[in-house]
């Protein structure tokens, strides 16, 4: 569920098909920079009513998904 939501957000950001986004995809391979990642985080925080911290460990889509899932478990 989380991956699908993030994949949809990314697809809208980079104007591609959701099916092109895989968990192991690097943000940089999609042309997503740190500002775009920060925007994804802010949108996710708003949608899921959680707080996330931006850090350098967010390289792949799966990194962001794991961070969100761990935060949801701790809420």
- Give me the CATH number covering residue 12: 1.10.1200.10
CB 71 within 8 A of CB 52: yes
User: Whose CA is closest to 52, among 33, 37, 62, 36?
Assistant: 37
Kindly report the pTM of this predicted structure: 0.88
Residue 60 pLDDT greater than 80, yes or no: yes
| Angle CA 9–12–15, to nearest 5 | 140
Overall number of domains in the chain? 1
Question: Token pair for residue 1?
Answer: 């569920």
Q: What is the domain range of residue 7?
A: 2-73
Residue 46 pLDDT greater than 90, yes or no: yes
Question: Token pair for residue 9?
Answer: 């957000």
Close Cβ partners of 71 (under 8 Å, ≥ 6 residues apart): 50, 51, 52
- pLDDT tier for residue 7 given thresholds of 50, 70 and 90: very high
pLDDT in tens, 31-41: 999 999 999 99
């Amino acid at each position: 569920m989380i991956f699908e939501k993030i994949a949809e957000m990314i697809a809208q950001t980079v104007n591609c098909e959701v099916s092109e986004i895989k968990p192991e995809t690097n943000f940089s391979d999609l042309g997503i920079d740190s500002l775009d990642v920060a925007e994804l985080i802010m949108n996710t925080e708003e949608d899921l009513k959680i707080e996330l911290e931006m850090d350098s460990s967010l390289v792949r889509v799966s990194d962001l998904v794991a961070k969100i899932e761990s935060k949801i478990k701790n809420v």
